[in-house]
Amino acid sequence: MERQQLSTRCLIIGSGPAGYTAAIYASRANFSPLMIEGDQPGGQLTITTEVENFPGYHEGVQGTQLMEDLRKQAERFGADIRGGFVTEVDFSKRPFRVKTDNGLEITADTVIISTGARARYLGIPDEDKYNGMGVSACATCDGFFYRNQSVAVVGGGDTACEEALYLSNIAKKVYMIVRKDHLRASKVMQKRVNDKDNIEVLYNSNTVGLFGDGVVQGAHLVEHKGTDREREYDIAIDGFFLAIGHSPNTAVFKDYIDLDEQGYIKVQGASTRTNVPGVFAAGDVADPTYRQAITAAGMGCKAALDVERFLLEGE
């Protein structure tokens, strides 16, 4: 493959709300940013149906449309947006060097990493079948659609308990599907869950399938799987929420960028600076706590402003 050589003052790796917002701000600052969209252009919101909690869309908006709007806004101000994903980086010295799967070799004065994170799934085929039609990995994003309905949350840690508690104020019934015979969450979170009348914890249970006519209407579960007490049973639900963690897309950066124990990029204080001067991180790739489109967009703005300050101070 013949490689194309490119050079930019600001390279944005990854798209989504963080990347596109960074591109908007960097473009308006006349840095002519180059963006490599990644293997999921637009990020996780492109596999979401309707988004109702992003400011400015009072009637809601499809996730794909929201990302297309942000992309067009970035292009309007001059961002150079390219397909492909990054396969190799060299952050040992400036200008930084980056290679992509489709033959680009890029040198960049600064880099904004906005590669996001992927929700962990169980791996059952029905998760793909009903994605966006009852299957979700974000209760705060999609819980509103299940007002006065029955839902299930998979997981037994603090995140799963938080999701279940959030949903318990919206849905009429919340099941927690827990593989073990106990919750792994902190004692205070366990107490809050146990104190909620409309949360029922299904211990020693594994989800083996989902069913429904076009949308999720129930889940097939197995209790005490692989033992002489094994029992199959079904629950009727309208929504199925995964809360078993996220995996940040940081593998290609691990030789240069400091990561926490979960693989998220560490940033310095309230800034988006990483341990490498000139490299910044924004969005879910550096945010294990909030993971919202609006917070990712805010971090994208901060990253572009941090880039501007870095370049101006350097000159």
For residue 80, what is the enclosing H or E element? strand 80-82
Residue type, 86: V
| Residue in 297, 292, 300 with CA at minimum distance from that of residue 53 | 292
Q: Which two tokens stand for residue 2?
A: 């013949």
Helix, strand, or coil here: 108? strand
Judge residue 313's burial from the number of C-beta atoms within 10 Å of its C-beta, 0-12 exposed, 13-18 middle, 19 or more buried.
exposed
| Residue in 73, 48, 39, 45 with CA at minimum distance from that of residue 296 | 45
157: Cβ–Cβ under 8 A, 6 or more apart, which residues? 183, 184, 185, 243, 244, 245
Residue type, 152: A
204: Cβ–Cβ under 8 A, 6 or more apart, which residues? 178, 179, 180, 181, 223, 224
Going 35 to 39 to 298 to 52, the CA torsion angle's sign is positive
37: Cβ–Cβ under 8 A, 6 or more apart, which residues? 14, 15, 19, 81, 82, 83, 84, 85
Any idea which residues carry the catalytic annotation? 138, 141-142
For residue 200, what is the enclosing H or E element? strand 199-202
